[in-house]
Chains A and B, each alone.
Chain A
Amino acid sequence: MKVNIYLNKRVAVIGAGLTLFRRRLLETPQEIAWEAARKALDEAGLELRDIDCVVIGSAPDAFDGVHMKGEYLSHGSGGIRKPVSRVFVGGATGVMTAIAGWYHVASGLCQRVLAVAEEKMSPSRPHPQAIFKYIWDPILEKPLNPNLIWIFAMEMHRYMATYGIKKEDIALVSVKNKRNALNNPYAQLGANITVEDVLKSEVLVWPVQLLDVSPVSDGAAAIVLASEDVARRYTDTPVWVEGVGWTLDNTEWPARDLAYARYVEFAARMAYKMAGIERPNKEIDVVEPYDPFDYKELHHLEALQLAKRGEAPKLLKEGVFDIDGDIPSSPSGGLLGVGNPIAAAGLMKVVSIYWQLKGTAGKMQVKKPVHTGLAQAWGDLMQAGTVIVMRN
């Protein structure tokens, strides 16, 4: 298998934009997509007429209640009389949107690409969980009426049992991320909470409790990617996309090793190979792993080879992943603190790394100097991993 031995073109991120992440935003999906797109264009110093191609990311169509959601969102994403397409890998879509934006430019097809991710979960009635009733195999699983939190509870349980991890060790992720989110002006759920608060919160499906979980959110994110010559015309501080990777495991999640996200490891290895990274825990300065549940951040840090299997909780306790630690993790506040409008949340992680590497993350800026950052997302039936590595 060939995995990007050479790069045809260097690609830079030169602008980014986010909307507020909130429950029940009043704007339409098209309107929030445009708000994020406009901000990204402004930061890049470009107008819509300068954009060659538009890439859209959005997760299940049913959240917005619109069939062919990419077509619907194209107008709000600036995709008018231009090549527009939508990519989709479930919850991993946000980072895939950035990856697709990258290959639009790296292939030579386009020079300036607007990549927009949008999600409105709150229109779902009575609750977005109703949408997740229809993600299962229609013959083998749907008749059992599984609940999404139920399968993640199994995964969390398995992770804890395999490595002897305690609930209070995992709760530290929620404490860290919600605290980091206090510095993020777009965040929905920034808070100073304690491990005790997490352990006392409502049990949803044991061992998953309310404060272990990211909220229902609406929001949009956008970035502008450009070829090297264009990027150098518009900015002195381009942030280069140096590696991308994505992997989909098979559909049969009950047969999967729930204690370890092998598909994320494969995606990371693809990105590391491309970026020339041999020792990720020494070379990655800042990381935004996907954290829709607190245990998932630890799970993903291990799959990304930033901690050995089962040892992420120990490093977390030692402060390695704190904002002033050796490898700050989720300095944005992550999905637990900023919110989880699925695809937009993944692209928000890319935006966070971009701002960190550019040095414009404001109060979110990590304490140590950073040169290499990584954003990762995860999705589908615990089977999709998407990874992007960027350098300044």
Chain B
Amino acid sequence: MGSFLERIAILGVGWYGFRPTTPEVSFREMVFEAAVRAYQDAGDINPRSDVDSFISCQEDFWEGISISDEFAPDQIGGAMRPTMTVTGDSLQGLVHAFMHINSGVADVVAVEAHSKVSDILTLSDIIKFAMDPIYVRSIEPKNFHFIAGLDAVKFMERKGITREDLALVVEKNKRAGLSSPRASYASNISAKDVLDKDFIIYPLSELDIAPFVDGAIVVVVASEDVAKKIKKDDYIIIKGLGFATDSSNIETADLGKATYMRVASDMAYKMAGITSPRSYFDSVFVDDRYSYKELQHLEGLKISEEPSKDLREGNFSPQGEIPVNPLGGHLAKGVPLEASGFSLLLDAIDYIRQGKIERALVASWRGIPTFTGSVIVVEKP
């Protein structure tokens, strides 16, 4: 793996939605709203003259459009410009932006991701289409969460984690979400409420599984030199980033472990020169679309070897030693498809801008049935 050449900076962010439905806008209008806000936040830049390349993160099947890339450029100002799609999580799109800047193609890049999941009538069937057509889809799973169920059981057995621990994660995150402007699913519930629910798939109840949500996010990044010129010191540095796929085949991936997070975070930590992640970061914003995933990811990220112990001791609470998802994570906000990574990044940026922390770790997962994760290290300049 090569060396880190030039740090990049987040110039501006804009978002729209984060509601279960957004009937007042099409997905393109939603992205336009987010883009306008992002360009304004980035120092009122003009995308037609000030942005060098544009990246959209989307998948055909979510959109109900074959070649959904066709619909990428107009609403972000990318027509007749270098615009492309990365069919991955928005943090993967951000890594491509980093590469555009470091290869010399661009100084300023806009990255877009969105979710119009409320338009999807057959979500469960669409997700099954992501499973291997011969070895997995053909068994006709009744419930796409079954992979999470297998993964959770193996992880819990390996680490001695109980159902009560998972319920504590839900309680912590749903409550933390009450302080977020984007958390449609935040609530003041208790672990007992979670334990009282029936299983969707053992060991996960309805409350252990984050619902989906509509939303659009645009992030504008630039080389640090350009960021200084436009925003002086009012920007956020991306100090390290990484992404990795374990294996796309369920039978060859590490069930019960977030190996993808380990590989991705090792890459990001190496780039950022971080040797003790637990002591380095002030807060962690990590994918928790299943309650157990928060704990599993924290282990993969080398934040905690005994995540359930840390959880029970309150170390991950918003007031704890290392707050984890202090604005609620996906359990409170919902999962905005490819924008999931950016929604965690937005929380980290909010926290940094509010002066609550200086350094944050953001880690996203692509969801069932994938074993792909992305990690970025963000901090004050």
Contacts and interface: CB of A to CB of B under 8 A. Distances in A.
Chain B CB count within 10 A is highest, among A61, A68, A88, A132, for: A68
Interface stretch (A201-209, A279-287, A356-364, A375-383): A375-383
Interface stretch (B83-91, B207-215, B343-351, B353-361): B83-91
Contact of B80 (A61, A79, A84, A266): A266
Contacts of B99: 103-104, 106-107, 109
A88 B69 contact: yes
Interface residues of B, number: 70
A248 B100 CA distance: 16
B103 A138 contact: no
Contact of A107 (B59, B72, B102): B102
Interface in A242-296: 244-252, 262-263, 266, 270
Interface stretch (A4-12, A153-161, A313-321): A4-12
Given A74-B247, A90-B67, A248-B72, 12 more contacts: A66-B129, A68-B87, A74-B248, A84-B243, A87-B84, A88-B86, A89-B85, A106-B103, A107-B98, A137-B71, A245-B82, A249-B73
Nearest to B61: A67
A4 B1 contact: no
Contacts of B260: 81
A60 B67 contact: yes
8 contacts: A85-B86, A85-B96, A87-B86, A103-B105, A107-B99, A109-B2, A135-B66, A246-B83
Chain A CB count within 10 A is highest, among B104, B246, B369, for: B104
Interface stretch (B130-138, B154-162, B281-289): B130-138
A266 B73 CA distance: 15
A5 B130 contact: no
B235 to A, nearest CB: 19
B95 to A, nearest CB: 7
A71 B129 CA distance: 12
Nearest to A70: B87
A73 interface: yes
B262 to A, nearest CB: 9
Interface of B: 1-5, 49, 52, 54, 59-61, 64-67, 69-74, 78-88, 92, 95-96, 98-107, 126-127, 129-130, 132-134, 242-249, 252, 259-260, 263-264, 267, 366, 369-370, 372
Interface of A: 1-9, 28, 52, 59-62, 65-75, 79-90, 96, 100, 102-111, 131-135, 137-138, 227, 244-252, 262-263, 266, 270, 379-381, 383-384
Contacts of A85: 86-88, 92, 95-96, 243
A71 B130 contact: yes
B96 A81 contact: no
Given A81-B259, A88-B85, A68 B370 contact: yes
A134 B66 contact: yes
| 6 closest cross-chain pairs (CB), A and B | A107-B102, A106-B103, A67-B129, A107-B99, A248-B83, A250-B79
Contacts of B252: 75, 80
B372 A109 contact: no
B159 to A, nearest CB: 21
Nearest to B65: A134
Contacts of B132: 72
Contacts of B366: 68, 71
A249 to B, nearest CB: 6
Contacts of A100: 96
A75 B104 contact: no
A110 B2 contact: yes
A235 to B, nearest CB: 19
A109 B263 contact: no
Contacts of A72: 130, 132, 248
